Amino acid sequence: MYAICLLCKKITFRSLTHQILLNNMNFKKQLFTVNYTITDYDEASNLIIEKALSHTSFGVTALAVHGLIESVKSKPFRQLLNKLDMIVPDGQPVRWALNDFHKVKLKDRVAGPILTDHVLAKANEKSLGIYLYGSTSATLEKMIEVIRQKYPRIIISGTHADRFREATAEEDIADIQKINASGADIVLVGRGCPRQEKWVANHLGLINAPMLAIGAAFDFIAGNIVLAPKWIQDSGFEWLYRLVQEPNKLWKRYLTTNTHFIFLFISCKLGIRKINFDNL
């Protein structure tokens, strides 16, 4: 009798946890032009694994200031972006803004590379298949080596290096068929923002797996870029740490996007603009 009670409690707990995950997926707050899902690493990765097990087409991105400002500047991009099922708040400035404007009490950001680690760890437990789409052949080779060492039970279902251009209609059909035929449970997409978000949005309902637009996570996993120490991440100055590593690539992006973000934040605080921009 005691064993039956324990079993019932366990089933009830799992059902409750499942419902909480579904509710949190729908708990979204708009910051400027983006509908962010209010979540954390554990909840987000659990939901991704759930979708992977059911082979559900599901779009995810970890969106920091750069992606947010790209959506402010481009209506076509923000319309595609907001089709994604889960947009998590990457970057401390995004988290701070959500907490300030919406009082959501986010304890941490949900950074793409760290979220990917959570997903890979849980995928490893279930021996799931991962498809790597994007980046360069050299980076993909390094990623595979690291994943096999750190997560030995994960199956590498397939890889596809970025063409660094948009695929033709014929190439795109072939890519979709190749990914689905691989039996991949999760597709990691590293094409850089905003190209990767556009790709994921355009392949919802076509790829039979959750797709994670995680960009720089490819380079972090491969060891091309070093992740900042946690105290720098927490301080909100990780952008400066990355700028030192990749000055030629990032100086202009940070100068324009960070300045634009600060301007919008102050404008909203002063009541000059609404927090939630119209015409998503």
pLDDT category at 115 given cuts 50, 70, 90 is: very high
At residue 247 the predicted structure's pLDDT band, cuts being 50, 70 and 90, is confident
Q: What is the pLDDT of residue 69?
A: 97
Residue in this structure with the two tokens 């907001």, named with its chain if needed: 82
H or E stretch including 63?
strand 58-63
Beta bridge partners of 87: 61
Query: Could you give the CA distance from residue 3 to residue 21 in angstroms, rounded to a whole number?
Result: 27
93 prior amide bond cis, ω within 30: no
Output the CA–CA distances (angstroms, integers) from residue 86 to 21, 37, 269, in the order listed: 12, 6, 26
Identify the weakest region by mean pLDDT among 3-7, 149-153, 197-201.
3-7
pLDDT by residue (tens digit) across 181-228?
A: 999 999 999 999 999 999 999 999 999 999 999 988 999 999 998 877
Q: Are 215 and 73 in contact (CB under 8 A)?
A: no
Determine the pLDDT at residue 77. Answer: 97
Tell me the average pLDDT across 247-260.
83
